[in-house]
Amino acid sequence: MNTLRSLLLSIATSAAVFLAAPAATAEPIGRKEVHLNAKNFAKLSEQDKHRVLELQSRIADVLATDRNSLSKEERVELRNEWKTLKGEMDQYNRNGSVIYISTAGLIIIILLLIILL
């Protein structure tokens, strides 16, 4: 009975190490990227194009921010800025997709917000 327990424990431990080792060296799931739809972007006025490029740059900066090193107040401020940028981004997306975030990036952002809050 004791040998069976130690055998099962060693099998479970080796399986856990075997399954966790590739995950530790693997690349992060999905990349946080902000893309522009060139066809719809070309339809915008020059002023709107300039603002969309500013939004793209700032959204990329927000996505690249390491939230672990931020204080609670800074995370709240970053979240509020994200909401503001998202609202403005939605205004430019009213007639089609001009700015969009990769699905994996969006899922990671949502999961981080859930975990941090």
Provide the pLDDT confidence category of residue 26 given band limits of 50, 70 and 90.
Answer: very low
Using the 8-state DSSP alphabet, how is residue 95 labeled? T
Provide the pLDDT confidence category of residue 77 given band limits of 50, 70 and 90.
Answer: very high
The string of pLDDT tens digits covering residues 87-97 is: 888 777 766 55
The pLDDT score that the predictor gives to residue 106 is: 80
**What is residue 48's three-state secondary structure?**
helix
Indicate the domain borders of the chain: 30-116
Q: Is the pLDDT of residue 110 over 80?
A: yes
- Whether the Cβ atoms of residue 79 and residue 23 lie closer than 8 Å to each other: no
Instruction: Label residue 75 exposed, middle or buried (CB < 10 Å: 0-12, 13-18, 19+).
Output: middle
Q: Is the pLDDT of residue 31 over 70?
A: no
